[in-house]
A and B are shown apart, each in its own frame.
Chain A
Amino acid sequence: MYVIEAFVQVFQPMNIIGLVFGTGIGILIGALPGLSVNMGIALLFPLTFAYTGIGGILMLMGIYCGAIYGGSISAILLNTPGTPASAATTLDGYPLAIKQNQPGRALGLSTLGSLFGGVFSAITLMLISPLLAKVALKFSKPEFFALAIFGISIITSLSSGSVLKGLMGGILGLFLATIGIDAMSGEIRFTFGTIYLMGGISFIPILIGLFAFSQILLTIEESYGKPQQKKVVKIDRSFPSLKDIKKVLSTLIRSSFIGTFIGCVPGTGGDIASFISYDQAKKWSKHKEEFGNGALEGICAPEAGNNAVSGGAFIPMLTLGIPGDGATAIMLGALLVQGIQPGPLLFKEQMPTVYSLFLGLLIANIVMGIFGFSLIRLFVKVINVPKKYLLPLIFSLTFVGAYAYNNSLTDIFIMVGFGILGYFLNKFEFSMSAIIIGIILGKLAEANFRGSLIMSDGDMMVFIQHPICLTLLIVAVLSLISPLLSSAFKRMKNREKTV
């Protein structure tokens, strides 16, 4: 019954148009070096306001899947990954496409890998999520607090530059979440007497500022005064031969498993999945010498791995309300904006919506594959779009996007302010995702922390007495300190080597 309702929801003409459009735009964004998946989702987020219900989310899913795949186009043709998740694809994609002069074969294999990985992970999401949600339904306030802390703890893994700065950004986000009316006492906090801040600081202008506006400023810095080289590529064919498919089938299955599993672990992402998949493909290969020179498995493995992350990352996001990476943190915000609260209750109260999301992800991956095989010649052209036209367009989009949600001019000022702040924070190696995760999970953490203490009459032992809560808190602590420990181990090893 739910499945039929979901089909009806998803297959409404406007929703399908949004999903197809989102996937196409996602591929274009991914293919353009300098534009990340997160930036694409943040930038096009405002377009979803035209939709009510699930339509806007389907469009964002399309952008998400399309952008991960799109990164492989520039990775293969320019040796420049469009997104960090496609960095591993350059290792064999570029040699096959340019050195061996087979760009169509390389792009076809990357499309096949992305399609297989994406569909595999969407099916896994459908099978595993309801089971995990059933367990999560038993959660009470202490468990939800521990869950929020676990979600916040992934900041350390997302902060590639500095763990401490990641945590500081997270705390900043948590504080921003306290602005407005306190959910527990009804008191108005930190609004400085302005009506604008009464409902809390608006999430969307901050998101667009941190992910899109600051990125454009960084792109200006990198591209200013540098001539853009034009690349002419002739695509002979775009669908892999049966022989090629047979050769890479086992790699596709293995990499999809790896990608889905890594996606499930909050704080990881497509870049880690693609490198591990690549590494495993090389280890299992009978002809390791081909790797680095255009090995077919070397293209399929990272692409299947990074696209499989999409479904995997949706598992903790939908069932527990914990984002798996920066992109799913933005998706989580989008769901909240549309009035959909991810978490175990979603599986109890809004099953048609859950099935629509499952179906949406599956269709987004299939549309991505169809686009990849049929329109690759068109997408290849995007790598030559001059930045002098692209940058002002993106700038204007950030202004419209910040304004569109609340029709508030103050939001434009906030977006520019956070964009400028984001530019400097990026320079000082802060993580933008950490701030966003802090804002998203801040209210959940505070309300459940205080709710738990009311439940136990102020006894802190409540967080230890609940086994699931304790387990989650231990995992959170381990997640917090593991990057610190691993860097300490690395330093020790380096010292031993030098001695």
Chain B
Amino acid sequence: MKSMCWWNVVVSAVFTLLGISFILLSRNFPVDLGTGDPGSGFWPSMLGMILIFLSVLLLIESFFSRHIREKKIDLSSHEHKIVYIVMGVSVLFCISTYLLGFIFSSFMFTYIFMSIYGITNRKEKILTALGIVVLLYVVFTLMLNTALPLPIFLR
């Protein structure tokens, strides 16, 4: 478990890098057109500078505030690990939806999610996954006429 101060240093570093990226990316665009229009590069580079300034302020605040130094943030408990697994499964679901379509992927996702969440009854998991897929198909495809992603070989 690390302190909020530690995490704020990480956040400051990441946002400083973001701010620098904004400025570097904006270099491809004019900052001043000389006609009164500041140019399309002015606004994003200004945002980059403000972001760097705010990141530095956050860093300073983190070292001077006792409240921030004392506050702890846990990102490594068992519950967090479950969340990270769900995140990974969600990314896999996106890839699976691209390849195999929504219906199959959603069924699999629900089944796997319930398993990760601690449900052991296989019948319950299959029925829930089936129920959710049917419900979404009826509501979105049949009632609202919204297309759901098809498998790559049917597209």
Q: CB within 8 Å of B: which residues of A? A: 46-47, 49-50, 162, 164-165, 167-168, 171-172, 174-175, 178, 182, 184-185, 187, 189-190, 213, 217, 220-222, 224-225, 388-389, 391-393, 395-397, 399-400, 403-404, 407, 409, 412-413, 416, 419-420, 423, 427-429, 446, 449-450, 453-459
A contact residues around B58 at 8 Å (CB): 162, 164-165, 168
With A178-B44, A388-B114 known, 17 other A-B pairs at CB within 8 A are A168-B15, A168-B58, A171-B54, A175-B47, A184-B37, A185-B39, A392-B109, A392-B132, A396-B106, A399-B97, A399-B102, A416-B91, A420-B87, A428-B8, A453-B37, A454-B37, A456-B36
What residue of chain A has the Cβ atom nearest to residue B111's Cβ? A392
B contact residues around A184 at 8 Å (CB): 37, 40
From 51 to 86 in chain B, residues with beta carbon under 8 angstroms from any chain A beta carbon are: 51, 54-55, 57-58, 61, 73, 75, 78-80, 82-83, 86
Minimal beta-carbon separation of B117 from chain A (angstroms): 6
In the complex, A301 Cα to B91 Cα: how many Å? 45
| Selected contact of B25 from candidates A168, A190, A389, A400, CB within 8 Å | A190
Minimal beta-carbon separation of B48 from chain A (angstroms): 8
- Judge whether B38 and A392 touch: CB under 8 Å: no
Given known pairs A175-B22, A453-B38, the reply for A217 and B83 (CB within 8 Å) is: yes
In the complex, A437 Cα to B37 Cα: how many Å? 25
Interface size on B, residues (CB 8 A): 65
In the complex, A164 Cα to B68 Cα: how many Å? 13
Of residues B43, B75, B94, B129, which shows the largest number of chain A Cβ atoms within 10 Å of its Cβ? B43
In the complex, A416 Cα to B8 Cα: how many Å? 24
A contact residues around B42 at 8 Å (CB): 450
- Judge whether A224 and B37 touch: CB under 8 Å: no
In the complex, A168 Cα to B119 Cα: how many Å? 40
Q: List 29 A-B contacts (CB under 8 A).
A: A167-B54, A168-B51, A168-B54, A168-B55, A168-B58, A171-B54, A175-B47, A175-B48, A178-B43, A189-B40, A189-B44, A217-B86, A224-B78, A225-B79, A388-B114, A391-B117, A392-B132, A393-B132, A399-B97, A409-B97, A412-B97, A416-B87, A416-B90, A416-B93, A420-B90, A446-B43, A450-B42, A454-B36, A458-B36
| Selected contact of B47 from candidates A174, A185, A224, A393, CB within 8 Å | A174
Given known pairs A388-B114, A396-B110, A416-B94, the reply for A428 and B37 (CB within 8 Å) is: no
- Judge whether A220 and B43 touch: CB under 8 Å: no
A contact residues around B54 at 8 Å (CB): 164, 167-168, 171
Minimal beta-carbon separation of B69 from chain A (angstroms): 14
- Judge whether A220 and B57 touch: CB under 8 Å: no
- Judge whether B117 and A220 touch: CB under 8 Å: yes
In the complex, A108 Cα to B43 Cα: how many Å? 53
- Judge whether A454 and B35 touch: CB under 8 Å: yes
Minimal beta-carbon separation of A53 from chain B (angstroms): 16
- Judge whether B7 and A428 touch: CB under 8 Å: yes
In the complex, A174 Cα to B47 Cα: how many Å? 8
Could you tell me the dominant secondary structure of chain B's interface residues? Answer: helix
Given known pairs A178-B44, A217-B87, A399-B93, the reply for A450 and B82 (CB within 8 Å) is: no
Minimal beta-carbon separation of B62 from chain A (angstroms): 9
- Judge whether A189 and B140 touch: CB under 8 Å: no
Given known pairs A164-B61, A400-B136, A428-B11, the reply for A423 and B83 (CB within 8 Å) is: yes
Interface check B18, CB cutoff 8 A:
yes
Given known pairs A184-B37, A187-B29, the reply for A50 and B145 (CB within 8 Å) is: yes
What residue of chain B has the Cβ atom nearest to residue A46's Cβ? B146
Given known pairs A164-B58, A395-B113, the reply for A172 and B18 (CB within 8 Å) is: yes
In the complex, A116 Cα to B83 Cα: how many Å? 41
Given known pairs A164-B54, A171-B47, A404-B146, the reply for A187 and B82 (CB within 8 Å) is: no
In the complex, A393 Cα to B55 Cα: how many Å? 38
A contact residues around B144 at 8 Å (CB): 47, 49-50
Nearest 9 pairs of A and B residues by beta carbon: A50-B144, A458-B36, A392-B110, A182-B40, A454-B36, A457-B36, A446-B43, A221-B79, A187-B40
Minimal beta-carbon separation of B19 from chain A (angstroms): 8
Given known pairs A178-B44, A395-B113, A399-B97, the reply for A220 and B83 (CB within 8 Å) is: yes
A contact residues around B4 at 8 Å (CB): 428-429
A contact residues around B90 at 8 Å (CB): 213, 395, 416, 419-420
What residue of chain B has the Cβ atom nearest to residue A47's Cβ? B144
- Judge whether A396 and B43 touch: CB under 8 Å: no
In the complex, A458 Cα to B140 Cα: how many Å? 51
What residue of chain B has the Cβ atom nearest to residue A389's Cβ? B128
In the complex, A423 Cα to B153 Cα: how many Å? 34
- Judge whether A388 and B148 touch: CB under 8 Å: no
